[in-house]
Amino acid sequence: MKGLLTILFLLGIGHLGSAQYVDRTNFRAGLVGGIVVGDFSEAYSLNLGLDIYHHWGVSREIDLGLTTGFMNAFGEKQTISNGSISVETEFDNYQFIPAGASVRIYPTSGFKFGADAGFAIGLNEGNDGGFYYRPSIGIDLSGGSSEFNISYMAVTDDVTFGTVLLGYLFLF
């Protein structure tokens, strides 16, 4: 009898635990844009990109996943003057592909915060890439079929390329 009660208790606990689980496994892709800040802000002002995520719901509050995409910061023209000498410089676009892991925490339904971290692969000449991190806050829209998010993204090597981003993702 004691063994039977133990088995029933464990089955009941298992059932309660599975009732708490919410499967948010999803694929999201969308556009992101922002302004460049920090070390590169004089050479670049705006960037546009593509975000791609695949998340797996591991608990009611936590998703883990993978992320990639493409980012392009548009180079600026600058005129540097020193007395009677002026030099005009045009910076090439700064491009990279981020590849990393992603975590999202859902304190309430439809609201999330989290971070991505990994390596950004530099695409243009002289861009070796670097450690990539991106804390973010997001809100699900349209019943969870899309998301609006705000984030700060940084690629760090010897200097830090940083940008503040607004993104819109579609759930597939």
Q: Residue 105, Cβ neighbours under 10 Å: how many? A: 13
Stretches in the chain below the pLDDT threshold 50: 4-6, 8, 13-19
Tell me the pLDDT tens digit for each residue of 6-26. Answer: 454 555 544 444 445 567 788
pLDDT at 4: 44
Q: Residue 117, Cβ neighbours under 10 Å: how many? A: 15
> Sign of dihedral through CA atoms 139, 39, 46, 155?
negative
- Do residues 68 and 59 lie in contact, with contact meaning Cβ atoms separated by under 8 Å? no
pLDDT at 10: 52
User: Which candidate, 118, 66, 129, places its Cα nearest to that of 95?
Assistant: 129
Tell me the pLDDT tens digit for each residue of 88-109. Answer: 888 899 999 999 999 999 999 8
Give the β-pairing of 94-108 and 62-75: antiparallel
User: Which candidate, 161, 97, 98, places its Cα nearest to that of 123?
Assistant: 97
pLDDT at 42: 87
- Is 24 strand, coil or helix? coil
The domains found in the chain, sorted by start residue, are 23-171 (2.40.160.20)
